[in-house]
Structure 1
Amino acid sequence: MKKNIAIVWGGYSSEKVISEKSATGIYSFIDKEKYNVFKVKIDRTSWQAEARGCFYPVDKNNFSFTDSDNRHIRFDFAYITIHGTPGEDGTLQGYFDMLAIPYSNCGVLASALTFNKFICNSFLKNFGIEVANSILLRKGDTCQPDEVISRLGLPVFVKPNLGGSSFATTKVKESAQLESAVEEAFREAQEVIIESFLQGTEVTCGCLKTDKGMTVLPLTEVVTSNEFFDFDAKYNGQVEEITPARLSEETTLAIQQETERIYHLIGAKGIIRVDYILVGNRPVLLEVNTTPGMTATSFVPQQVNAAGLSMTNIITEIIETELVHFNPRQCYDNDHNK
């Protein structure tokens, strides 16, 4: 019997528009001869499953829904593609753990850790991973431009500490711009990170592990004429993405090995993507993304294609690995696994 797969998208942040694009991408990749596939949209007001063009409320008690033919459909697996809360920060992971429903990406701890850029970079720095110097501000903290500049210099990047897709991210070149940039970032999240500027080449590397072993993908080099890899560069075509990156074999291998090491250090599963700035030949970590974009032109699908692999096969491997190894005894009992 086919397993019922939920592609979970939406979320509570500005990134829900990107999540919708990723859900469409994943739906196109999943083997629908092997699985029954449904999109499930989660927002603050409702959870809805889409089936044959109609929408049905999801029962949060057991993550199921009843369609117009009175068929009661329970999901066997959740492919989470919410960029931001509650899908990237560990919240949904905890929910699915309690329901004993396997899911595609990192668990609660790894998701919560990587969602907080400042904490994640501080954690990885302890293991010798090089990161940019940074300052963390929480709601209510006062931004002191003179102190920021004395510690980090100019320019600096100001961005929400919890979030992604370059929403509310500003490259600040002058002291007078700093406070307004911090205010803008605070409108997106309760914490703001200010990072020192690093001049170099931006590269990104996807990595995944299934029962077939570890796969570290080719690198993508990011080239844009914009001030930085901002929202327009990411989603409005103002960028050149070169896969594989135009780097030496030695530098490529070093970044791939660093990515695999980070995968193990955070206790990842499924697909992650790690972003770096290459300063000379020295990779400096920008951030770890445990729910990378999955449109047809996103970095990971580009890298999979460059590696001569199939997104359909990779998603199947991720699903099957989790279905085999998920242990409901580690979670709360419920009628889903009786």
Structure 2
Amino acid sequence: MGKKNIAVVMGGYSEEYKVSLKSGQLIFDSLDRDLYNVYKVVILKDEWYFVDDRAQNIPINKADFSVKLESDYEVKFDVCFNIIHGRPGENGELQAYWDTVGQKYTGCDFYQSALTFNKKDTLAVLSKYGIPSAKSVYLRSGESFDEHQIIEDLGLPLFVKPNQSGSSLGITKVKEKSEFKKAVAFAFAEDDEILIESFLDGMEVSVGVLDYKGETIVLGITEIVPHKEFFDYEAKYEGASEEITPARIDDETRRKVEEIAIKAYESLGMSGFSRSEFIIMNGIPYMLEMNTNPGFSPASILPQQAAIYGISIKNLCGDEVEKALAKNKNK
């Protein structure tokens, strides 16, 4: 049995590509070289390339996601380890393409990626499984809306956010009526669909869930204590928040959060890493969103949770690769 070729695929089309490169590096460094030949592939808007040993960028052949090295030696990958944050690796675009060219990959499939990238649709599906979320209003670009009615229904403060999941850009906490229109315009600058949500006054927690060695586990519950009003892009990536793992909650609340996080994951037919954000208010966890390709840089929440849970990054990543290798064996 020769070693399997694994491509760690990183980058992306959004600002988050910088975080993805750090996440990809950690996975690249952690995968077991006794089992796998590990390669680096970077996907950016303008180019998709393979990084060779001499740090040269060689274009990827998009016809079958292969790469030609010296003397026409072609490398094909047994598995792509997808660690792109945002488009196209977290919204289903890349998964659909890989399915078409017959390329195996880690993480969830096209459908789950596309669904969870859309906050409104995720929450709508999960509400059918009894998973609570904030009261909300959904708007498409160009649609007329009744500002007074929305504020009356949801109350102040409220949150205005782009519907597309991904980085926390374009979010505003609106406290005064006068700030509402500006917040709507700010969110529409990021996405042509927006979500206006009632404010949930409680503790924000980030819950890492994955299927590990055949069972769905909660890797950890991390309490987010923003130094600012809420967990925005700056808080997320520039350290303007405190993250406390495990969260300071009693056992009963912890069990509730674990149950709901696992139920959400399994109801959606998820696979691979995920991080769900909840607000716990009066002992009830309300779901905000689910990330299917959460940050995995050394500073990110998921690796911190794994360390506390007691699973090494090497085993965590190795398990993902083995699941992907076992996928679609019958097809």
Corresponding residue for residue 91 of structure 2: 89
- Preserved contact between residue 120 and residue 138 of structure 2 (Cα < 8 Å): yes
Displacement, 1:143? 4.4
**Structure 1 position 9 matched with structure 2 position 10:** yes
Corresponding residue for residue 72 of structure 1: 74
Corresponding residue for residue 178 of structure 2: 176
Displacement, 1:254? 1.4
Displacement, 1:328? 6.0
- Preserved contact between residue 66 and residue 76 of structure 2 (Cα < 8 Å): yes
1-structure distance, mates of 2:195, 2:70: 48
- Preserved contact between residue 6 and residue 80 of structure 2 (Cα < 8 Å): yes
User: What secondary structure does 1:59 align onto?
Assistant: coil
2-structure distance, mates of 1:328, 1:185: 44
Instruction: Give deviations 1:180-220, integer Å, cap 9, x for gaps.
Output: 22222222122111111111101111111144422221211
Q: Which runs of 5+ in 2 are unaligned?
A: none
- Preserved contact between residue 163 and residue 189 of structure 1 (Cα < 8 Å): no
2-structure distance, mates of 1:10, 1:189: 20
**Structure 1 position 219 matched with structure 2 position 221:** yes
Corresponding residue for residue 43 of structure 1: 44
- Preserved contact between residue 10 and residue 20 of structure 2 (Cα < 8 Å): yes
Displacement, 1:147? 2.1
1-structure distance, mates of 2:51, 2:330: 27
Q: Is the deviation greater in 75-84 or in 194-203? A: 75-84
- Preserved contact between residue 210 and residue 321 of structure 1 (Cα < 8 Å): no
2-structure distance, mates of 1:101, 1:211: 22
- Preserved contact between residue 14 and residue 167 of structure 1 (Cα < 8 Å): no
5 Å-filtered alignment, 1:245-260, equals 245-260=247-262
Corresponding residue for residue 133 of structure 1: 135
Q: 1:199 to 1:117 in 2, by over 3 A?
A: same
Corresponding residue for residue 24 of structure 1: 25
Displacement, 1:24? 2.1
Displacement, 1:8? 1.6
Corresponding residue for residue 300 of structure 1: 302
**Structure 1 position 201 matched with structure 2 position 176:** no
Displacement, 1:16? 2.0
Displacement, 1:36? 1.9
- Preserved contact between residue 227 and residue 242 of structure 2 (Cα < 8 Å): no
Count of residue pairs brought into register by the alignment: 329
Amino acid at match of 2:138: L
Q: Which of 315, 321, 325 pairs up with 2:317? A: 315
2-structure distance, mates of 1:145, 1:90: 33
1-structure distance, mates of 2:299, 2:45: 29
- Preserved contact between residue 294 and residue 301 of structure 1 (Cα < 8 Å): yes
User: What secondary structure does 1:95 align onto?
Assistant: helix
**Structure 1 position 286 matched with structure 2 position 288:** yes
Q: 1:76 to 1:147 in 2, by over 3 A?
A: same
Corresponding residue for residue 146 of structure 1: 148
1-structure distance, mates of 2:192, 2:109: 23
Q: Which of 242, 245, 256 pairs up with 2:244? A: 242
1-structure distance, mates of 2:71, 2:36: 20
Amino acid at match of 2:39: F
2-structure distance, mates of 1:328, 1:174: 58
- Preserved contact between residue 100 and residue 328 of structure 1 (Cα < 8 Å): no
2-structure distance, mates of 1:80, 1:46: 17
Displacement, 1:140? 1.4
2-structure distance, mates of 1:326, 1:125: 30
Q: Which of 185, 188, 196 pairs up with 1:186? A: 188
- Preserved contact between residue 172 and residue 181 of structure 1 (Cα < 8 Å): yes
Q: Which of 207, 230, 233 pairs up with 1:231? A: 233
**Structure 1 position 166 matched with structure 2 position 175:** no
User: What secondary structure does 2:38 align onto?
Assistant: strand
Q: Which runs of 5+ in 1 are unaligned?
A: 330-338
Displacement, 1:43? 2.4
Displacement, 1:10? 2.1
- Preserved contact between residue 108 and residue 292 of structure 2 (Cα < 8 Å): yes
- Preserved contact between residue 49 and residue 57 of structure 2 (Cα < 8 Å): yes
- Preserved contact between residue 120 and residue 163 of structure 2 (Cα < 8 Å): yes
Corresponding residue for residue 325 of structure 1: 327
Amino acid at match of 1:109: Y
